[in-house]
Amino acid sequence: MGVVHMSCGVLEPASPELRSETAIVAGIAHTTLAERSRVDWLGLADDYDRIRQHIEHVVPGFAQYNRRVRQPGGFYLPNLPREGQFRTPSGRARFTVHSIPEHDLSGGKLLLTTIRSHDQFNTTIYGENDRYRGISNGRRVIFLSCGDMDERGLKENQWVDIISHFGREQRRAARFKVVPYPIPRGCAAAYFPETNVLVPVNSVADGSNQPTSKSLTITLERSADAEGEIKTEFP
């Protein structure tokens, strides 16, 4: 873990119109920021070495990035615990104990966590199958315990809308198929980015200020049936 190395695609693009993630992001930045930014966004997309030069200037551990990344096997990022070093007064690891948070799940609410599939890297989706969980042919699914399904009168492969609740704010993601899964009662899981719309902008974690994508209070509503088939192989 923590090894940085280069990778190169080996397949021909599916279309001459297909652009890389970098080109898409740089294009958006160029269009929206060109008048007030001195960054050559399109130039960054044309030559990734330029991106690595910028990373080298701001991220610790990336000195001489372009040279080191071309070494066989890449290079390790600094990791003090891996090297047996801890920046504490005692020089040893220090554990912190936190109380378990309480969530109000009254009124049929569930606690939703968003997850990735097997055929996914961050928000890049390479296929619609998830061999981790026995899902094929689609991603608009929500994993529920059988007990929670029975309590709500839900059946496998039934379409539901997911509604998130944060203060007075409600957000809706429509048409997700119910999949029975050995998940604890009161909990649910669904893939992102399909469920990103459920994450309130102002709902962030204490300290890190990260969006609460792993802890969303939701309810479910039956939705109109939709076309498309999602096969579940989970027993």
pLDDT average per 10 residues of sequence, the chain (235 residues)? 84 88 94 91 96 95 95 92 90 90 92 95 88 92 97 95 95 96 97 95 90 95 72 58
**pLDDT given for residue 234 in this prediction:** 52
Question: pTM value?
Answer: 0.73
**pLDDT given for residue 159 in this prediction:** 95
Do residues 112 and 190 touch, judged by C-beta distance below 8 A?
A: yes
- List of residues 6+ apart from 150 with CB closer than 8 A: none
Domains and CATH numbers, the chain: 3-83 (no CATH), 110-232 (2.40.40.20)
Do residues 166 and 218 touch, judged by C-beta distance below 8 A?
A: no
Closest CA to 200 of 163, 145, 230, 226: 163
- The DSSP result for 21-85, as a single string, is HHHHHHHHHHHHHGGG----HHHHHH-HHHHHHHHHHHSTT-TTHHHHTTSTT-EEPP-TGGGT-
Element (H, E) at 148: helix 146-152
Helix (H, G, I), strand (E, B) or coil at 146: helix
Query: Distance (Å, rounded) from C-alpha 149 to C-alpha 156?
Result: 8
Do residues 174 and 125 touch, judged by C-beta distance below 8 A?
A: no
**pLDDT given for residue 190 in this prediction:** 98
Amino acid at site 71: Q
